[in-house]
């Protein structure tokens, strides 16, 4: 018996130092368990713990409640045969108890040992007597499913009545019940193209820095109407004028008033019959009667001298062409800066001014999606992944205009919160590796989506394997 106990303790110690998984989870506070019992009353009485013939059997049904992240309350009910090494004293026992279980490791591990202690009331049916016993022991939970665990436990139970001390060894199953109570937490680094602090998927103007109160759109003129709804985004106006002012209060909003700063009549398009700005263009034909401008722009200013009036010029401080709405084409790719999603990188007209990614680059990144691997349940890269990541390092060095979006994904196995955390940590592990290899941080972003974006069914092992991945997507300035 002594040798058996030593082997069992060594096994529990080995399992307690194994890798990651889950203990009883505070998000599911309740659990039920069932165990098969092996009991020894004779050993503590006679001192012979090695006589396995003295062991008898029993069963246990129990209920557990998680009180704190590290502490459970267990209420077991047991029925067993008790061998006192005296046929006249052997008896059938039934007992119920209350035990506290203190987990030695926090939740989030596959193997979680614990210590337990409490009190049990025991009734001997043959002898018709009741007694108390004080149990103390150790145990371990081993996760085998999302809510299912193997459980092993060894107790020494001190009997308050004479010759009633005993040893209990139990092996069985624990199953968590009830709904999870905590909201999902997301750990990710969102994509924010215009760097205004609002993620692109929530930003109504993802290419232009804006304000939170306008869903990421700017309000250039500060009139409380965002530029994407403002007919006069550079001039403060009113809601009744769709963001445009009526500067001369003649009832004609400025965009429709040929003389917006001089009261006039609707018949004369809002203008009086004089030239207030002395630009040589009568006010009734002057698009900007309060600001001198050339005839080429109908009397309106043209700051950049490109022949397009400032109020019609999408880039009024950068000379451009009428075909480009007054904007230049900085990278010379045929898509002007006002609409070019990659204004600093020559690209394709049919791709919003961004270049197409080379086919060989796509092949490397597609292969990396399948080839980058991690240790089970962790964000530690396996050594064979370094070869693939080194190819990506060379790819980034050979293509200095490339940026890279790194996104982590998991299958639907396990806790959704943990999956989001794990996917973000894995994406960051790749991000950190590329930075260590000399790729600038401002060329890289990472994000974790957990199980939210599957590319295959999670109902098969092959589908789940495809869903566990890290994707690499080229981005441009």
Q: Residue 459 and residue 379: Cα distance in Å, rounded?
A: 24
215: left (phi over 0), alpha (psi -120 to 50) or beta: left
Q: pLDDT, tens digit, for every residue of 174-218?
A: 988 877 655 455 556 688 888 888 998 888 899 999 899 888 899
Which of 4-13, 26-35, 426-435 shows the lowest mean pLDDT across its residues?
A: 4-13
Average pLDDT over residues 296-304: 92
Task: Supply φ then ψ for residue 290, to 5 degrees.
Answer: -100, 0
Unique residue bearing structure tokens 């050339």: 294
Of 242 and 137, the one with more pLDDT: 137
Q: Residue 35 and residue 58: Cα distance in Å, rounded?
A: 9
| CATH T-level assignment (fold) for domain 359-476 | 60s Ribosomal Protein L30; Chain: A; (3.30.1330)
Average pLDDT over residues 295-318: 91
Do 20 and 377 form a contact (C-beta atoms < 8 A)?
A: yes
Do 449 and 423 form a contact (C-beta atoms < 8 A)?
A: yes
Best-predicted range by mean pLDDT (53-67, 242-256, 348-362, 387-401)? 387-401
Q: Which of 161, 174, 178 is nearest to 76 (CA)?
A: 174
Residue 19 predicted with pLDDT over 70? no
| pLDDT in the model for residue 294 | 93
| pLDDT in the model for residue 182 | 54
Indicate the pLDDT class of residue 26, thresholds 50, 70 and 90: low
Q: Specify the CATH class of 2-177 in words.
A: mainly beta
Do 451 and 414 form a contact (C-beta atoms < 8 A)?
A: no
- Ranges of each domain in the chain: 2-177, 359-476
| pLDDT in the model for residue 60 | 94
Average pLDDT over residues 243-272: 83
Indicate the pLDDT class of residue 21, thresholds 50, 70 and 90: very low
Chain-centre distance for alpha carbon 276? 61
Indicate the pLDDT class of residue 89, thresholds 50, 70 and 90: low
Q: What value does the mean pLDDT of the chain take?
A: 86
Average pLDDT over residues 153-171: 89
Q: pLDDT, tens digit, for every residue of 112-125?
A: 899 999 999 999 88
| pLDDT in the model for residue 111 | 85
Average pLDDT over residues 57-65: 92
Q: Residue 315 and residue 372: Cα distance in Å, rounded?
A: 45
Average pLDDT over residues 410-423: 94
Task: Supply φ then ψ for residue 424, to 5 degrees.
Answer: -65, -40
Indicate the pLDDT class of residue 17, thresholds 50, 70 and 90: very low
Q: pLDDT, tens digit, for every residue of 362-411?
A: 999 999 999 999 998 899 999 999 999 999 999 999 999 999 999 999 99
Q: pLDDT, tens digit, for every residue of 423-447?
A: 999 999 999 999 999 999 999 999 9
Which of 10-14, 40-44, 222-226 shows the lowest mean pLDDT across its residues?
A: 10-14
Q: Please name every residue paired with 111 in a beta bridge, in sequence order, or none if there are none.
A: 142
Number of neighbouring beta carbons within 10 Å of residue 466: 17
Please report, rounded to a whole number, the percentage of residues in the chain having pLDDT higher than 70.
90
Do 446 and 427 form a contact (C-beta atoms < 8 A)?
A: yes
Unique residue bearing structure tokens 């599957």: 454
Average pLDDT over residues 94-105: 88
């Amino acid at each position: 018996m002594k040798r058996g106990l030593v082997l069992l303790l060594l096994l529990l110690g080995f399992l307690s130092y194994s890798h990651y998984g889950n203990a009883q989870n505070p998000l599911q506070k309740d659990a039920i368990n069932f165990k098969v019992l092996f009991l020894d009353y004779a050993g503590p009485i006679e001192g012979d713990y090695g006589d396995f013939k003295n062991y008898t059997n029993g069963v246990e049904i129990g209920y557990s409640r998680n009180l704190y992240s590290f502490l459970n309350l267990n209420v077991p009910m047991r029925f067993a045969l008790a061998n006192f090494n005296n046929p006249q004293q052997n008896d059938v026992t039934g007992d119920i108890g209350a035990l506290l279980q203190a987990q030695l490791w926090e939740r989030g591990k596959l193997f979680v040992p614990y210590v337990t202690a409490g009190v049990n009331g025991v009734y001997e049916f043959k002898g018709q007597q009741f007694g108390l016993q004080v149990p103390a022991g150790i145990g371990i939970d081993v996760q085998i499913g999302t809510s299912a665990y193997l459980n092993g436990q060894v107790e020494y139970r001190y009997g308050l009545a004479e010759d009633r001390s005993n040893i209990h060894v139990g092996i069985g199953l624990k199953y968590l019940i009830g709904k999870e109570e905590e909201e999902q937490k997301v750990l990710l680094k969102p994509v924010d193209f215009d760097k205004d602090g609002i993620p692109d998927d929530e930003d109504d103007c993802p290419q232009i820095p804006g304000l939170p109160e306008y869903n990421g759109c700017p309000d250039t003129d500060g009139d409380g109407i965002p530029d994407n709804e403002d007919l006069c985004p550079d001039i403060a106006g009113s809601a009744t004028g769709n963001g445009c002012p009526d500067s001369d209060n003649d009832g004609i909003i400025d965009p429709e008033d040929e003389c917006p700063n001089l009261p006039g009549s609707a018949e004369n398009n809002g203008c009086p019959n004089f030239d207030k700005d002395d630009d040589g263009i009568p006010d009734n034909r002057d698009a900007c009667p309060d600001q001198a401008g050339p005839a080429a722009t109908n009397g309106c200013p043209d700051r950049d001298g490109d022949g397009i009036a400032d109020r019609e010029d999408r880039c009024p401080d950068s000379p451009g062409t009428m075909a480009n709405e007054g904007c230049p084409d900085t990278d010379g790719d045929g898509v002007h800066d006002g609409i070019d999603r990659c204004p600093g990188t020559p690209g394709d007209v049919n791709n919003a001014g961004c270049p197409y990614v080379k086919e060989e680059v796509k092949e490397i990144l597609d292969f990396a999606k399948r080839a980058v691997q991690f240790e089970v349940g962790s964000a530690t890269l396996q050594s064979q992944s370094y070869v693939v990541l080194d190819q990506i390092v060379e790819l980034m060095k050979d293509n200095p205009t490339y940026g890279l979006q790194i996104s982590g994904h998991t299958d639907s196995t396990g806790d959704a919160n943990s999956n989001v955390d794990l996917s973000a940590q894995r994406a960051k592990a790749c991000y950190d590796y590329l930075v260590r290899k000399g790729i600038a941080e401002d060329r890289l972003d990472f994000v974790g989506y957990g199980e939210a974006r599957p590319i295959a069914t999670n109902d098969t092992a092959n589908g789940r394997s495809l869903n566990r991945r890290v994707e690499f997507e080229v981005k441009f300035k």
